[in-house]
Amino acid sequence: MAARLELRDVGVRFGTFDAVDGVSLKVHAGEVVGLIGPNGAGKTVTFNVVTGLQPATRGAVLLDGVDVTRAPAHARTGMGLARTFQVVQLFAGMTVLENLMVAAHRFTSAGVVTDALRLPGRRRALAAARERASAVLAFLGLQHLSDVEVSSLPVGQARLVELARALCLKPKVLLLDEPASGLDPAETADFVALLAEVRATLGCAMLLVEHDMGVVMPLCDHLVVMNFGRVLASGRPADVRDDPEVKTAYLGTPA
């Protein structure tokens, strides 16, 4: 069976600088793959290639075996790809529920024409979006935040809401860019438990960019370490963690 997500020899060049230089990886259904590496290693650029925000200079991105290298971001979302951002990006001025409904609406919308003409299908679609958004909030235990305006949320809660919004898209592949950054140790532990539950309940494949080994080690089935745009190591988390080259590059300590 084709991997849910596959990168084949992906490269991104900015001028004469190779930010990503020949990255290949696979994420299978139900699997959590961690993408780690020092600052500037190329993790976020790799992510952006997967989501379609950043065009690849070379290589290919496949979703369920379908080549989406040149597909726009929204088309990939429609194929089951959802993400969160390194810096939380919610729609300011809207409540938590409204933020989620924007995402959920993709699945329940009767189409732009129906929406624009305010046909009866529109009301049904909105009701369905509200239902989906509410169900996701309940699943994550966030119903009490439903009517809170998102700008007033502390970062820990904003991160949860961003995760909730991604889940409204019913993702087959969930991409998380440093989801625990800005969280305190207690919030981080809760977040890890929540992601484990998401994985167990929804079974979506995840690609997780994260610095915090306390997040990566308990969650990931497989780790890919990047350094200077390349894959330095790839394998089982414990093996990768104990690899001397990885220790030198990632942890900054001599092997």
Report the interface residues with Mg ion, using CB under 5 A. 43-44, 86
40 binds, among Mg ion, ligand ATP, none (CB under 5 to 8 A by kind): ligand ATP
- For the CB of residue 24, give the shortest distance to Mg ion in the complex, in Å: 19
- What is the closest distance, in whole angstroms, from the C-beta atom of residue 43 to Mg ion in the complex? 5
Number of helical H runs and strand E runs in the chain: 10, 10
Q: Which residues pair with 83 in a beta bridge?
A: 175
CB of 128 to Mg ion, least distance (A): 35
Closest CB 71 distance from ligand ATP, rounded Å: 20
Residue nearest to Mg ion (CB): 44
Q: Please, which residue, 33 or 142, has the CB nearer to Mg ion?
A: 33
Pick the closer one to ligand ATP by CB: 191 or 250.
250
SS (H, E, C) 204-251: CEEEEECCCHHHHHHHCCEEEEEECCEEEEEECHHHHHCCHHHHHHHC
List the single partner that 91 binds among ligand ATP, Mg ion, none, CB under 5 to 8 Å by kind.
Answer: none
Among Mg ion, ligand ATP, none, residue 16 binds (CB under 5-8 Å by kind): none
CB atoms within 10 A of CB 222: 18
CB of 213 to ligand ATP, least distance (A): 14
Chosen from ligand ATP, Mg ion, none, partner binding at 51 (C-beta under 5 to 8 Å by type): none
Smaller CB separation from ligand ATP, 130 or 211: 211
Contact indicator for 229, 21 with CB cutoff of 8 Å? yes
Smallest gap, in angstroms, from Cβ of residue 12 to ligand ATP? 8
Residue 134 binding result from Mg ion, ligand ATP, none, given CB thresholds of 5 to 8 Å by partner type: none
Token couple for 178: 């440093």
37 binds, among ligand ATP, Mg ion, none (CB under 5 to 8 A by kind): ligand ATP
Crossing angle (nearest 10°) for helices 185-202 and 155-168: 10
Kind and range of the H or E element at 46? helix 43-51
State the residues that interact with ligand ATP by CB under 6 A.
14, 19, 37, 39-45, 86
User: Are 94 and 161 contacting, i.e. CB atoms less than 8 angstroms apart?
Assistant: no
Q: Which is nearer to Mg ion, 130 or 211 (CB)?
A: 211
CA distances from 203 to 41, 46, 210 (A): 29, 23, 20
Distance of CA 26 to the CA centre of its chain: 15
Helix, strand, or coil (residue 119): coil
Choose between 158 and 176: whose C-beta lies nearer to Mg ion: 176
